[in-house]
Structure 1
Amino acid sequence: MEVGAQVAYTDVGAGSPVVWLHGSGPGATGMSNFGGNLPAFGNYRNIVVDLPGWGSSPRPATDEPLIFDAAQRVCAVMTALGIERAHLVGNSYGGAVAMRIAMRHPDRVDRLVLMAPGGVLPADAPPWPVGLDRLFAYMAADKPSRAAMAEFVRLMVFDETLATESLIDERYESSLRAHPELPIPPNFGDLTPDLHLVAAPTLLVWGREDQTVPLAWASKILEGIPDAELRVLPHCRHWVQYERAPEFNHIVSEFLRGGATAAAEG
């Protein structure tokens, strides 16, 4: 489905709303990132978004940083669907979009789950971690290859058997339908100065071996958001929700119910 022919989304389930925001990797879509997790969240209304420029959502012409523009458009989706307030779950780029919404519209965010979010870079970047380097190289290629996609997907998981041929094919075919090119690296925007504005209880989930948004980058976010906690999963890289789905589903379900924060406060 689409809202105003601008943002595509999937709306499934009933209950308190959860908005799911995917990463910026080539071939990414909302359902490719989170479709396997949704059965564990059947007691929620799940809004799974294709962020502008990915999946079935066209890339709008804008001079704003991508994170800032996408956050405005996701808020417009929520308004169009009659959702005043929701939990936000985002990985990588989608985590940055979720943070931006929480900064600018705190009244619209209940709880915030961020998996290795972007938007907050250390002072010494670049050089880029190998995962980001491969991502940008794929985006910049005149004619990206399936072999390059296979290399990228294998970097996203610690257990490379999870980088199945069907997954590589799916992501590669989706990447060929990409929207107009972005400058490399893209102008995502910097969220660092406004981290203190995130008032929502926030759960950071990170793969210990992440080679795209390294665990070392977590400290600035953890220190900047007043009500943030961190869970680190070993033997896991960037796609936490895919590679460690059972643990991810359990941790996030508990947090959305108030368990993690309630335990901390008790």
Structure 2
Amino acid sequence: MEENVFETKIGSKLHYYKRGSGPIMIVTPPAWGLSSLYLQEGLAPLEQTFTLIHLELRANGKSTRPAASEMTCWHLADDIEYLRQELHLKTIPFLLGHSGGGTIALWYAIRYPDKVDRLVLLNHRLEGFDDSESLKNSIIEKKKDPKMHAPLKAWTSSWDDLSDEKFASIIRSFLPVYFWNPDAAVQSKEFNSLQTVSLWNYRLLHGSDQKDQHQEQELDKVSAKTFMIFCQADPVCTPTQGIATQKGIAGSKLVIYEHCGHFPWIEKGEETFRDIIEFCTL
């Protein structure tokens, strides 16, 4: 693995990790404090086909923290553009984003449509889309499983008095809810070893200081060939968001996995890697 750091034209410093061999695939994680480590762990099988460039977005990992006003997903898309320039790429051959990282990758494809060839979105959040009904139904379904009761109780609607360490502890406790099979939560060493997660990041991107912008009406700007994976048992990014995205991006492809939660490479690994590689190599 190769670790790199570069300075952007606005003076921020961004880190990225280079792994694998083959054509370049830039990978964007969510920006609320997880860093790219869980995707470096989970997407390792793709290194046999692609050179994965795991970008640490601003205020994540070792990358520098910007002003709070520049921590929206719309702004974060610029970090991908800075990386493209740093790598001297005319266009990004493959751009993959997961969850909130998919939100940022999608903003990039909207804002820089001529700079990305193929876009892969895994369980992405469609920013500004009202998915409240599907989210509620997903939690109702989760409550039917006794193994989900304790993890669901760990979650709270307010974290204002928490330390970053306590916030990480709550995420570890809640982790089984992200899966169709709660026992699958133990399969990620990175998630289960989380010790600190930035509450500052989370407040700005998903909490009390969140300033959502709406992507749905701008989806027709995307010109990249687009492939999406969603999962029926995902409680945070439900397939409803994927269906809405597919309607907005001409020619885009969507697959929905049954018996799978927010991390398809864990519960549906064979299908996930097969489908991504097939889309990218056709």
Counterpart selection for 1:15 from 12, 22, 25: 22
Whether the 8 Å CA contact 1:200–1:227 is kept in 2: the answer is no
1:194 and 1:65 map into 2 onto residues whose CA distance is: 20
Change (3 A) 1:42 1:188: farther
Q: 1:125-181 deviations in whole A, cap 9, x for unaligned?
A: 4996559x988847645232565223321121112222128444422x142x66666
* RMSD, aligned CA: 3.0
Counterpart selection for 1:118 from 119, 125, 134: 125
Residue 3 in structure 1 maps to residue 27 in structure 2: no
Q: How many residues are paired up?
A: 255
Alpha-carbon deviation of 1:44?
1.9
1:155 and 1:13 map into 2 onto residues whose CA distance is: 31
What SS does the aligned partner of 1:120 have? coil
2:52 and 2:221 map into 1 onto residues whose CA distance is: 25
Whether the 8 Å CA contact 1:65–1:187 is kept in 2: the answer is no
Question: What's the counterpart of residue 264 of structure 1?
Answer: none
Question: What's the counterpart of residue 203 of structure 2?
Answer: 182
TM (norm. structure 1) is 0.83
Question: What's the counterpart of residue 162 of structure 1?
Answer: 184
Question: What's the counterpart of residue 82 of structure 1?
Answer: 88
Gaps of 5+ in 2: 143-152
Alpha-carbon deviation of 1:241?
2.7
One-letter code aligned to 2:105: A
2:237 and 2:229 map into 1 onto residues whose CA distance is: 12
Alpha-carbon deviation of 1:113?
0.7
Q: 1:26-54 deviations in whole A, cap 9, x for unaligned?
A: x5221312423223332322111122222
2:265 and 2:40 map into 1 onto residues whose CA distance is: 7
Percent identity, aligned pairs only? 20
Change (3 A) 1:145 1:98: closer
Whether the 8 Å CA contact 1:103–1:194 is kept in 2: the answer is yes
Question: What's the counterpart of residue 91 of structure 1?
Answer: 98
2:112 and 2:98 map into 1 onto residues whose CA distance is: 19
1:126 and 1:220 map into 2 onto residues whose CA distance is: 14
